[in-house]
Amino acid sequence: MRHLNVPTAVYAAAKGGLNEFSKNIALQHASKGVRVNCVLPGYIDTPFIRRKIGGRPNYEIKGFKSTEEYSAARNEVIPMRRMGTGWDVAYACLFLASDESSYITATTIVVDGGVTATCPGV
């Protein structure tokens, strides 16, 4: 949805392509009752942020001294002051899969604690 000051052109192109692909499929099949939407997670607290890259801890590559310091910095840029969880993303998906969202198609739902309305760089 926006640049985060890291070289992720291929990742961004793939995500943008998937969003537009989903919208196109949704419109193409809406008359058949098929709904297609995308869930866009923001900063989510998962083992992915604790991974090693080239044998080095991710937090170290990002310029932090510990996982806790890295997590705290991520939390600080989020208006809700916390990273989301897998459950936050799952509940959005469950909503979209439910009858309560029967009139929602060709859209994206951002699950990010308000972060895309700001300009973080962590």
Catalytic positions are 11
Residue appearing with tokens 């919208």: 23
What is the SS3 assignment for 75? helix
Amino acid at 4: L
Q: Compute the distance between CA of residue 89 and CA of residue 78 in angstroms, rounded to an integer.
A: 16
14-47 CB burial, b ≥16 within 10 A, e <16? eeeeebeebbeebeeeeeeeebbbbebbbbbbee
